[in-house]
Structure 1
């Protein structure tokens, strides 16, 4: 038989786009896990808390869906844009936070927020068009843009400014082919919540640039701090807005796949420029969300008891606080900004304190391999040497995850070299520098202090003993207290620290020299 010359083949464009998504990223990390680790895998990678009983959605919500299914009135197809009653419910729900009322005709129901995202980018993907995405940002936007043929340009969210947009840099990226900017609020992956004034400036800058705003508000109202949630649609009189949202996060039902795309336009700009007709065309060639879940939307959106929301937000707030504190207690990683909303926080990696770790991807892969803890590398949010962690898990899950992360970071911490307090400065072989003793004393104190904070004694012999600070604790005449060494070490370190900060040497002889120290570094006693 003559072998056929098959003329088909896979679309490499789809493969490349799929690899950019969060699912594509995590598929690679999951392959690294040690199957023989009997402790079980801890996933801090995905914002899906439904698997934990404390985050189960309200019984009222489940009953609304059950009743819609059992009545047998919603087993047919829905219209292209969705059931009329469901669209009206979304319009009413969102209008509560706006200075105007949304028309039900401006609401399109979608298969989760992912299809809403897909629709928004697809309708803008004219030849040569480009779009602004936040950095760090949600990777599926870049994947969908790549598949649609949209050029992507990144504007920065500045961590030192509570992850606010660098507006000047944003404007500088614009050109005649730019069509839109994506704003995610509350922010994934940063856990930030934009203030009213900042959102207004974003709208004003967008108007100046002649672009529309795609407002991803899938985490709307999941706020934990002092910044209240402000929908971008408030500023529709300044610039045209397309709002994306879903039931998934606030109601903890991501598997139900019900979302919406809403047009916030007050002066017909989106209609005039063909966006509305293009959106209608998109949904004509797309699948509809499940009809009986659409039918349950009026009950869910408008009648869910507020006690349910309060419970979920309080759980998130407690978990976020715990993750923030535990992160900052581990050498080598930190969380500079406490999360204000969403389900995530960003952890910063300090490579100067870690050995054998190349970058965030290397950290996450080795952590998965050695400790079976899964995080998302920051490079996939376009933020090198950061990592995303979800706090939407049970408290015991957090405790165990961070216990393993601490063990990992301590195992990979850079080792200190031999330390002698006999006139030798920390980590060096040079004699004590009498001309500049402050630095040498400061260094020595830092090592002892680090031991106190992060190691702690395992036996009497492991205790650092700065006995030539006269062998006395601060302000006392008693000898060094061997049975309770932590307090005395802390006191002795404080005495030398106070001397360094406030007094300073007048001569070499005046310098405190803790000469009889045994320092425990990474579990090893160094004489």
Structure 2
């Protein structure tokens, strides 16, 4: 027991540990003598479950690109032009203006898009506004780039909406950007058009860039339809981050993008663009043959594939929400309506010998071989 307590206390803080890092610690705490298969519910990898499988169109496009032997070399810094064009056209479908290929930069998954964005915005003495709860990678990347992190709260009783008054109180002349995750990770919320418009107006008032994390874009199965933040790009400049990972169920392909939703050109100064190009030169990008497959993947994937994924997510979300109601020590403040995650509240007063969410997760892993993430790693309280 003492060793277990020591292990729990030795866990790093939210801003210097990754999700994979905490998952590794939890997996290491499972009982090796327990013959039950470990149920891992801690990471958004749909491929871990056989019911989620990408479309044949995507697989065949990658195979064809690889077998052609035309894409074994380096790609241009920003990505292959046909792939950039296809992504620009794909995202433009939902916007009141048209994106161009020059607005799109390909990245090795959305995680690299986060890293690049924060790196090019970082300056000595600057700060960034991050949502709480949110995705831990933002805090980690910001800390590495010496950006001061200021957390604004999401309000669970209002569908995890942004506390805009808190945002205004936190921001100052040194604030470079605010991050919006929609559909929400880990909260499972989907923002309305009206709320996104208020966010854009607030960003305009404060003079900050919006970083819109839309890696779960279009994975909405509740009352609110998905609306991209780029719709409001004429109000405040938006840097949209996304990928094939979730909607096409291929996180291992590492094909992401960083897109300038900036019809007024606020972000397109020569210095900013040059900084972006230099940083993508340093980082490299996704595999060239995966990039080559992108136009076919985007243009030929049938809507029935997307509907099937949405239906499965809604079904599993409904089951999860109803089952949580049967567990007295856990409640869900908001039924998930999007993404692949849900945030729940743990009532420690109803549990014996449980001191925190971390303690609960470690004991759950050891006693039941079930892996879930402690809330502190997304809430940073």
TM-score tier, shorter chain, comes to: over 0.9
Counterpart CA distance in 2 for 1:260 and 1:155 is 26
Instruction: Give CA-to-partner distance per residue, 1:420-468, whole Å, 9 cap, x none.
Output: xxxxxxxxxxxxxxxxxxxxxxxxxxxxxxxxxxxxxxxxxxxxxxxxx
Structure-2 separation of matches of 1:83 and 1:373: 42
Deviations 1:111-134 (A, max 9, x none): 000110001000011110100000
Q: 1:128 to 1:244 in 2, by over 3 A?
A: same
Aligned twin of 2:379: 382
The one of 19, 28, 48 equivalent to 2:45 is: 48
Q: How does 1:416-495 map to 2 (within 5 A)?
A: none
SS in 2 for 1:154: strand
Cα shift at 1:383:
5.5
**Residues 350-379 of structure 1 deviation map (CA, whole Å, 9 limit, x = unaligned):** 112112111111111111111110000000
Residue-by-residue CA offset, 1:2-28 (whole Å, 9 max, x unaligned): xxxxxxxxxxxxx98984211122222
Find 2:142's aligned residue among 142, 145, 157: 145
- 2:122 aligns with 125
Aligned residues: CA RMSD: 1.4
Larger Rg: 1
Runs of 4+ in 1 over 6 A off after TM superposition: 15-18
* Structure 1 residue 329: Cα displacement: 0.8
Structure 1 Cα separation of the partners of residues 273 and 209 of structure 2: 13
1:84 pairs, out of 71, 81, 86, with 81
Other-structure match for 2:255: 258
Where do 1:49-198 residues align within 5 Å?
49-198=46-195
Question: Which whole-Å CA distance do the structure 1 matches of 2:223 and 2:67 have between them?
Answer: 43
Partner SS, residue 308 of structure 1: helix
Question: Shift of residue 54 of structure 1?
Answer: 1.4
The answer to whether residue 200 in structure 2 is matched with residue 203 in structure 1 is: yes
TM-score by length of 1: 0.69
1:228 equivalent in alignment to 2:225: yes
Seen in structure 2, the aligned counterparts of structure 1 residues 132 and 295 have a Cα distance that, compared at 3 Å, is same
Structure-2 separation of matches of 1:272 and 1:81:
17
Distance change >3 Å, CA 165–CA 282, structure 1 → 2:
same
| In structure 2, distance between residues paired with 1:18 and 1:190 | 19
- Equivalent residue for 2:338, pick from 337, 341, 344: 341
CA distance in 2, matches of 1:281, 1:358: 47
Q: Using the alignment, how far apart are the partners of 1:43 and 1:284 within structure 2?
A: 36
| C-alpha contact (below 8 Å) 2:15/2:139 kept by paired residues | no
Residue 293 of structure 1 corresponds to 290
Question: Is residue 74–residue 288 contact of structure 2 (8 Å, CA) maintained in 1?
Answer: yes
User: Is the 1:74–1:292 Cα contact (8 Å) retained in structure 2?
Assistant: yes
1:32 aligned residue: 29
Tell whether the 8 Å contact from 2:214 to 2:242 is kept in structure 1 after alignment: yes
Counterparts of 2:277 and 2:13 in 1: how far apart (Å)? Answer: 28
CA separation in 2, counterparts of 1:199 and 1:154?
18
- Per the TM alignment, residue 61 of structure 1 is displaced from its structure 2 partner at its CA by 1.1
Residue aligning to 2:265: 268
Q: Distance in 2 between matches of 1:36 and 1:245?
A: 41
Q: Which residue does the alignment assign to 1:332? A: 329
Contact 1:216 1:245 in 2 (8 A): yes
Cα deviation, 1:119-157, whole Å, max 9, x if unaligned, reads 100001111010000000000100000111111000000
**How do 1:354-373 and structure 2 match up within 5 A?**
354-373=351-370
User: For residues 93 and 142 of structure 1, what CA distance do their matches in structure 2 show?
Assistant: 30
**Does 2:312 align with 1:309?**
no
Paired residues for 1:235-250 under 5 Å: 235-250=232-247
SS in 2 for 1:302: helix
Write the deviation string for residues 217-274 of structure 1: whole angstroms up to 9, x where unpaired.
0000000101000000000110000000000000000000001000111122112383
Q: 1:221, 1:250 within 8 Å by CA — same for their partners in 2?
A: yes
Higher RCO (CA 8 Å, separation ≥ 6 residues)? 2
Q: For 2:153, what is the secondary structure of its paired residue?
A: strand
* Cα shift at 1:53: 2.0
Structure 1 position 99, deviation (Å): 0.4
- Tell me the matched-pair count: 370
Could you tell me how far apart the structure 2 residues matched to 1:52 and 1:270 are? 40
Q: Secondary structure at the match of 1:183?
A: strand
Q: Is the 8 A contact 1:50 1:252 kept in 2?
A: yes
Q: Which ranges of structure 2 fall in alignment gaps of 5 or more residues?
A: 1-11
Q: CA deviation at 1:176?
A: 1.2
Q: Distance in 1 between matches of 2:380 and 2:116?
A: 26
